[in-house]
Structure 1
Amino acid sequence: MKKSCLLLALCAASLTVHADTLRKVSDSGKITLAYRESSIPFSYVVGTGKPVGFAVEISNAVVEEVRRQTGKPVLEIDYVPVTSANRIPLLVNGTIDLECGSTTNNTARGKDVAFAINHFYTGTRLLVKKASGVKNYADLAGKPVSTTTGTTNLQVLRRYDQEKKLNMQFSYGRDHAESFLLVESNRALAFGMDDILLYGLKANAANPADYEVVGDSLQVEPYACMLRKDDPRFKALVDGVITRLMKTGEFEKLYKKWFLDAIPPKNAALGVPMSEELLANIKSPSDKPAQ
């Protein structure tokens, strides 16, 4: 009986440490950041170096504030690659402390994790080869279509397919690069994903002129940094950093750098101006989820 009580107490203590990210980071002297390998321009890897991107810079700004609040100026940063499928489990179990990438803030995920202030808005569209002749979803009836495992886009596309009775033949990549490869190698006619990620993949393809982003935007969704639930102190810190970036104009400078100017690895510019939704969110920062 005593052993059982001790075990339960240890488990509870472990969960408490995980729930209090600042305490966990302060005790270990390390913060663990998740990154995506091919979510251009939010979080991706160039060559064999560290991750770069718009969301990576937001993460770095958060780390600086963590260093200040914990009094640990030499805080170690550990980078862990995540996929659409494992990012939430790795956050919940304490493997990673913060995930800033291309993750949609929605009510379903909000049952397991918390989200910071939204930092982007996007919708599901299609990346196709121009030679395919595909212009919208109806052109894909009975045809092979790729998307990425563990994404909201997969659910959106399946629902649309069922509603319209298109019988699209889905295949699933482990990450966005793998999903795009299915189109590149002609194993799928289209890749359905958030339009901004499709523009990033197109800009960095071997032959960008061969591809185009087409189709109606099926659903507008916000991106936000993801952190553990029931950790109001850390959420307040992350929200405070993002609000500061938005109010001081630093956010707009970061946006210009990653969405309007030329970016690595091919020094191609995406040329995507801020959406009305994002402009409104800068004026009145919100963590409101998609439904």
Structure 2
Amino acid sequence: MSGDVRGTQEPARGRVVLAAVVTLVGALLAGCTSSGYDPTPLPTASAAPSPTSSPSPSGSAAPVCDDPLASYAPISPLPAPGSMPSGSTMATIAERGRLIVGVSGDSLLLGARNPISGQLEGFDIDMARLVSQAIFGDPDKIELRVITAAERIPLLEDGSVDLVARNMTITCARWEQIAFSAEYYRSGQKVLVPLGSSATSLADLAGQRVCAPAGSTSLVKLEDFPEVVPVSAATHTGCLVKFQQGEVDAITGDDTVLAGLAAQDPYAQVVGPAFTAEPYGLGVNQANTDLVRFVNAVLAQAVADGRWTQSYDRWLADALGAAPAPPVPDYGRG
């Protein structure tokens, strides 16, 4: 692209049109789920007893966190689909007839609605469908609820969803409120800037407005760069609209998310090396450690049989390169 000098009016017109399109898509996605199921709150976590085959001792998810990546050992053996342990969280889900998962609806490549099929799809969606497959023998017995980043923890805490599969970084602070699966993907925070910008990192954006979603670790990380002006939006798509309308100068977030945004805006580019490590985990209600153990067994099986790599290759390889080695799980908790 060197030597390709674009007039200022052409990008401006293009970005305004793109902003209008993104705004319309966001409005269509708001509040949508991926099935005809009526949203049904789960029983409170305390109402679901733990199975004898995978005990969930009271207080085992206490807010003690020497290692945020340490999760619970996988249930062994992994129960066959349709044969969940009596009294377990998985049995409660099976009796309901569907797994309820909070996901993104606008994170291209991770969790976004296909405009042709209307289905939510992406790498995170695949991880959720693996769990549905393991419980029911059917990946489609799942209700995908589109939620914002800020809603992830509250909806897990009040039992509205069984899992959250929404590029959620595992942190000690979050372990105080919820539980996590073992790490299933390692991302890193980068910056999206206008095409042709000389900036290569947040350090190059002194005095400029940088957007990140409310409730995200990306927004918190901006506190380490007091020279930039933080701006929040409900979602990364909201940040993209602000970027295209000239309300912010850059967007920061996980490289996986920014790759999806750049694919939607020909006047944007993702720059610089990652300046954080963002280990993703599936979020679970803190009391449901039996479900965490079950999910960890499912993820380990998907790595072993190649389904993890197949999903990466389908969604992320074109934007981020060849599949890395899957994260090595840490089962040091409890």
What TM bracket, shorter-length normalisation? 0.7 to 0.9
Equivalent residue runs for 1:126-141 within 5 Å: 126-141=191-206
Mapped contact 2:309–2:323 kept (Cα < 8 A): no
2:250 to 163, 180, 190: 190
Cα distance in 1 between the residues matched to 2:332 and 2:221: 19
Greater fraction helix: 1
**Equivalent position of 1:176 in the other structure:** 236
Equivalent residue runs for 1:194-205 within 5 Å: 194-205=254-265
Identity of aligned residues (%): 23
Greater fraction strand: 1
Amino acid at match of 2:287: D
Amino acid at match of 1:54: F
Give the aligned length.
252
TM-score (norm: length of structure 2): 0.69
**Equivalent position of 2:150 in the other structure:** 85
1:17 to 47, 62, 81: 47
**Equivalent position of 1:65 in the other structure:** 134
**Equivalent position of 2:107 in the other structure:** 39
Cα distance in 2 between the residues matched to 1:75 and 1:38: 20
**Equivalent position of 1:52 in the other structure:** 121
**Equivalent position of 2:172 in the other structure:** 107
TM-score (norm: length of structure 1): 0.79
Mapped contact 1:34–1:81 kept (Cα < 8 A): yes
Cα distance in 2 between the residues matched to 1:287 and 1:149: 30
- Cα 1:257–1:196, aligned 2, differ >3 Å: closer, same or farther? same
Show CA shifts across 1:179-207 (max 9, x none).
Answer: 122212221111011112111211233x2
TM superposition shift of 1:216: 4.2
Cα distance in 2 between the residues matched to 1:75 and 1:216: 37
TM superposition shift of 1:161: 1.4
Equivalent residue of 2:247, what SS?
Answer: coil
Give me the CA root mean square deviation: 2.4
Cα distance in 1 between the residues matched to 2:203 and 2:237: 25
Mapped contact 1:65–1:241 kept (Cα < 8 A): yes
TM superposition shift of 1:79: 2.0
Cα distance in 2 between the residues matched to 1:127 and 1:287: 35
Mapped contact 1:132–1:189 kept (Cα < 8 A): no
2:302 to 210, 224, 245: 245
**Equivalent position of 1:220 in the other structure:** 277
Cα distance in 1 between the residues matched to 2:119 and 2:314: 18
Structure 1 unaligned blocks of 5 or more? 1-12, 261-268
Show CA shifts across 1:109-164 (max 9, x none).
Answer: 11111111211112211100124432332331111111111100111111x213xx
Equivalent residue of 1:242, what SS?
Answer: helix
Mapped contact 2:129–2:139 kept (Cα < 8 A): no
Cα distance in 2 between the residues matched to 1:258 and 1:288: 30
Amino acid at match of 2:46: T
TM superposition shift of 1:172: 0.9
**Equivalent position of 2:15 in the other structure:** none
Equivalent residue runs for 1:152-167 within 5 Å: 152-158=217-223, 160-162=224-226, 166=227
